Structure 1
């Protein structure tokens, strides 16, 4: 075998083992018995030790030095494997295993603390997570910025200073739009009782409409909706509130966006470094464009209104136009995953600033709740009433995902660029969406972006798909036009 063939065969086994570890995480958040949390932590640590040993195997360096790429895909694989090898060698095996163990245990303690609104019970393990991630960041950064080292794991080559500048450019137009909408007559609220079984049945129907392949996936329930897996096993979760069905339905569409990306990647890339989304920002561009520009469009709401009436009977809103306004209602709510498109990025900006301060050591875990509540009141004009509506609402920090949050807003910006290009390419899109036909939009995304997996770097992936440079203007223009029309501004 050539050096390239040996390297890719070795990498395929590593990717397969990583998928097994991901399945353990899915199991923990869906069906694992609560009493198994400590044991699961040990299992995750053991498997992470095996994976870390493979990712730092000295033979990888030898293969990389000898391998020669004959195609664009092979060159991309060598680039990504070399990047992973370099990063993995900087992190001690002990630290990698301990991070896997502690974050697994932390996830369970967070879920219990969130259910009980008991932040004090969770803070000790969160302090452990922060300390371990700062130690990892120091190993990765080698004297550079700690937060940038963590951010690079989710959005390669991104830097916090650039993201902060992006947020500074976005904030004035978002705040101005929010202020204008606050002065307009409020949108209606969808009320009533929506039985769990019917919500889940409709979520399955919508997932299928958005191209989710149930032969290679499944929908389960979790405290915090997520997508897990790649290649031919891509699973999603949702959550159900019988008084508020839109959370379930749009969480499903969001996660199908992630899953659809993974399921559409070229089969030849499966179980390779190319066989997964290239970054979390690009991944979020897919979940956000599915959920918002497509799923919350007035055109698609017209179709969804009919399906809601079929499932639940007469609704508290009168007709598809009023339903679309209810779906896109703008309000200063506590919960990020339920936030409207106008407020969503403000939620991310809050988390971005707080986690940067935690990683830098400028904010302690014990002061985190007060900092969160003060910032939320300043940004949203509402006082946080309890921890589960504030600092305990997200799973990200409990499982150590520091540096992940800004990729949501990057995803929104990328989605804005993609949506503008898609509209130019598909002038009849609204007519199709009003019939529940998402296939043309999915086909465009699949061909232009999804099937390529990790072939290109993140920014190049978006620019290749759109044929234009990345900027925040398409997103902000879309928001102003959409909500201006819905609210009659």
Structure 2
């Protein structure tokens, strides 16, 4: 075998083991007995040790030095494997295993603390997670900025300063839009009782309308909705509130955006480094464009209104126009995953500033809750009333995903660019959406973005799809046009 063939065969086994580890994480959030948390932590640590050893095996260095790539896909695989090899070697095996163990345990403790509002009882394990990620960030940074090193794991070649500049450019127009919309008469609110079984049935129907292949996936319930897996086993979760069907529906659509990306990657890339989303920002661009620009469009809401009436009977809103306004209702809610499009990026900016300060040692863990609550009151005009509405609402920090949050807003920016290009290419899109026909939009996204997987770096992936540069302008233009119209201001 050539060096390239040996390298790719070895990497295929590594990717398969990584999928197994991901399945353990899925099981932990959906079906695992509560009493198994400590054991699962040991299992995750053991598997992480195996993966770390494979990802730092000296044979990789030898193969990388000798491998000769010919195709674009082969060149991309060498680039990504080399990046992983260089990055992983900087992190001691002991540290990698301990992070896997502690974050697995912390996830279960977070779920319990969120349920009981016991922030004080959760802080000790969160402190361990923070310390471990600070140590990892320092190892990866090799004298540079530790937060940037963590961010690079989710969005390669992007820095915290670049994110801060992006947010500085976005914030004035978002705040101005928020002020105008919040001063207008409020949109109607969907109220009533919506049985769980009917919500889950409609969620499954909508998931399939958005192209989710249930022969290669499944929908379960979890405390925090998420998508897991790649290639031919891609699973999603949602959560149900019988007073709020929009939460389950739009959480499902969001996760289907992630899952659709994974399921639509070219099958030849399966179980290779190309066989998964290229970055979290690009991943979020898919989930956000599915959820917002497509599923929250007035045209799609008119179709969805009919399906809601079929499932639940007469609704509390007057008709499809008011239903569309209810779906896009702007309010200063506590929960990021339920936030409207006007407020969503303010949630991310808050988390970015706090986690960056925490990782740099500029904010003490004991001061994090107060800093969160003060910032939330300033940005949203509402006081946080309990920890589950504040810093306990997200799973990301408990499982150590520091550097992940800004990719949500980056995904919104990417989605804004993709949406503008999509509309230009499909001028009859609203006609399709009003019939619940997503085939044209889904094919466009599959062809332009999803099928390529990790073939190109993140920003190049979006630039290739839209045929031009990336910027925040299309997103902000879209938000202003949409909400000023909906609120008639």
Task: Give me the TM-score of the superposition, normalised by structure 1.
Answer: 1.00
Computed over aligned residues only, the root mean square deviation of the Cα atoms, in angstroms, reads 0.3
Partner SS for 1:285: helix
Structure 1 residue 245 displacement after superposition: 0.5
Write the distance in 2 (CA, Å) between the matches of 1:120 and 1:484.
42
> Is 1:138 matched up with 2:151?
no
Partner SS for 2:212: coil
> Can you list the C-alpha shifts for 1:136-174, whole angstroms capped at 9, x where unaligned?
001000000010000000000000001101100100000
Aligned residue in 2 for 1:48: 48
Aligned residue in 2 for 1:223: 223
Counterparts of 1:50-449 in structure 2 under 5 Å? 50-449=50-449
Partner SS for 1:379: helix
Partner SS for 1:236: strand
Aligned residue in 2 for 1:30: 30
Write the distance in 2 (CA, Å) between the matches of 1:470 and 1:122.
40
Write the distance in 1 (CA, Å) between the matches of 2:183 and 2:340.
16
Structure 1 residue 484 displacement after superposition: 1.1
> Is 1:468 matched up with 2:476?
no
Aligned residue in 2 for 1:457: 457
Partner SS for 1:202: helix
Partner SS for 1:234: strand
> Can you list the C-alpha shifts for 1:339-374, whole angstroms capped at 9, x where unaligned?
000000000000000000110001111111000000
Write the distance in 2 (CA, Å) between the matches of 1:283 and 1:109.
28
Structure 1 residue 70 displacement after superposition: 0.8
Structure 1 residue 94 displacement after superposition: 0.2
Structure 1 residue 485 displacement after superposition: 1.1
Write the distance in 2 (CA, Å) between the matches of 1:13 and 1:182.
53
> Can you list the C-alpha shifts for 1:12-54, whole angstroms capped at 9, x where unaligned?
0000000000000000000000000000000000000000000
Write the distance in 1 (CA, Å) between the matches of 2:178 and 2:379.
11
Write the distance in 1 (CA, Å) between the matches of 2:391 and 2:354.
11
Structure 2 residue ranges without an equivalent (≥5): none
Partner SS for 1:90: coil
Structure 1 residue 265 displacement after superposition: 0.1
Partner SS for 2:89: helix
Structure 1 residue 281 displacement after superposition: 0.1
Write the distance in 2 (CA, Å) between the matches of 1:154 and 1:183.
37
Write the distance in 2 (CA, Å) between the matches of 1:333 and 1:63.
52
Write the distance in 2 (CA, Å) between the matches of 1:470 and 1:302.
31
Task: Give me the TM-score of the superposition, normalised by structure 2.
Answer: 1.00
Structure 1 residue 182 displacement after superposition: 1.1
Write the distance in 2 (CA, Å) between the matches of 1:364 and 1:99.
20
Structure 1 residue 192 displacement after superposition: 0.1
Moved segments of 4+, more than 6 Å: none
